[in-house]
Amino acid sequence: MKKIVFFVFNCKTFGHFVMNILIYDFWKQSSPKEAKEVIDFLLKQDNLQEYLEILLNVSELSDYFYRYCWILKDEPQLEELVNRPEFPTRLLFNLMYSSFGKYVKSGNVSNDFFLATWAKHLTSEQSYRLLSEEPEIEKDLPLKIYLLANLDAKKWESFFEAMLLEEKGISEVISLFENIDSSQRKKIFYRNPTLYQYLRMILVVETSEVKTEFLSSLESTLNEIYTWEEYAKEVRSKFDLVSEKNKSPRERNESRLTLILKEAKKLELNKAEEFLEYLTIQQILIDEVEFEIVLGLLKNQHPNE
């Protein structure tokens, strides 16, 4: 096994410290703390892209880099790094998949959790870059959906226009969601109002006379979320949620939970639980504590469900 990876590197400004970083044994013997220091240092460099290109092309280094990125995935420095415009999309794609089998096989995480963990760290801009530049993503529908859920209004418009230019059309956009479990699909819509609003618009302009069962189901889901969205606006108008968030659960206005419980009682238990999950994601229910309180009260009233 090669102990040192040799390369041609024409940027002298990196100095001795980065020379160590580009040595195989350095990574092999590093701790997560040292790996974090590496990321801190690299973020300050003007020629970051050149270093990242080396990682992309030298497997002895990239294997360790991927490993430490997963370990440091919740560190703000790592999030900043993977969202830099200098970060090659191919390297980012490889990073997301490098340890997929290892961690999923361990039983500690599911496929969805693993992909969602990476996707949630990406900005709208970086998600759009991946969708636009990496054709391999077309083969992984769940990842594509997670990335789509990250897009803001501007990037969603760009993505939609690009699909129309490729003559994929509206039906292609809709079909992206057809093979995803309905509960997972709803959670994606809960977390991304822009995506949800675009799909509602698409259904309005959909001209097919005979709607498929899936299309009807999707329309029903979006209409349901629209109703919940209107309810969330009503609650926001009645309560100062910013102030509520800064209080402990005991100090918060009980009237808000009472109002939500009253609304949830109108629904069947399974549907009410989805409703409460939506309100939690939208921070109408401030946190998991409030979610569990209201859900517990509901279940007490439906002991046989």
pLDDT tens digits, one per residue of 276-299: 999 998 889 998 889 999 999 988
Gyration radius of the chain over CA positions: 23
pLDDT band at 1 (very low <50, low <70, confident <90, very high): very low
**Residues 144 and 137: beta-carbon distance below 8 Å:** yes
For residues 112 and 188, the model is more confident at 188
How confident is the model at residue 140, as a pLDDT?
Answer: 80
Is 189 contained in some domain? no
How confident is the model at residue 175, as a pLDDT?
Answer: 76
Q: What is the mean pLDDT of residues 142-150?
A: 81
Is 81 contained in some domain? yes
For residues 304 and 177, the model is more confident at 177
How confident is the model at residue 11, as a pLDDT?
Answer: 39
Q: What is the mean pLDDT of residues 66-89?
A: 88
For residues 94 and 198, the model is more confident at 94
How confident is the model at residue 222, as a pLDDT?
Answer: 86
How confident is the model at residue 218, as a pLDDT?
Answer: 82
Residue 60's domain spans which residues? Answer: 1-87
Question: Exposure of 81 by Cβ count < 10 A (0-12 exposed, 13-18 middle, 19+ buried)?
Answer: buried
Q: Which of 76-80, 116-120, 285-289 has the lowest mean pLDDT?
A: 116-120
Is 242 contained in some domain? no
- Give the whole-angstrom CA distance, residue 296 versus residue 289: 11
Round the average pLDDT of the chain to a whole number and report it.
79
Is 252 contained in some domain? no
Q: What is the pLDDT of residues 38-76, one digit of tens each?
A: 888 888 888 888 888 887 888 777 888 888 888 888 889
Is 185 contained in some domain? no
**Residues 127 and 151: beta-carbon distance below 8 Å:** yes
Is 149 contained in some domain? no
Is 45 contained in some domain? yes
Q: Find tokens 């410290």 and name the residue.
A: 17
Q: Which of 95-99, 196-200, 287-291 holds the top average pLDDT?
A: 287-291
Cβ-proximal residues to 257 (8 Å cutoff; 6+ apart), any chain: 285, 290, 293, 294
Residue 125 has pLDDT above 50, yes or no: yes
For residues 17 and 283, the model is more confident at 283
Q: Say how many CA atoms lie within 13 Å of 83 toward its Cβ.
A: 17
For residues 278 and 201, the model is more confident at 278
Tell me which amino acid residue 53 is.
Answer: E
pLDDT band at 275 (very low <50, low <70, confident <90, very high): very high
For residues 171 and 12, the model is more confident at 171
Q: What is the mean pLDDT of residues 138-145?
A: 79
Residue 16 has pLDDT above 70, yes or no: no
Of the candidates 154, 140, 155, 58, the residue with the CA atom closest to the CA atom of residue 96: 140
How many distinct structural domains can be found in the chain? 1
Is 95 contained in some domain? no
How confident is the model at residue 228, as a pLDDT?
Answer: 94
- Give the whole-angstrom CA distance, residue 49 versus residue 7: 15
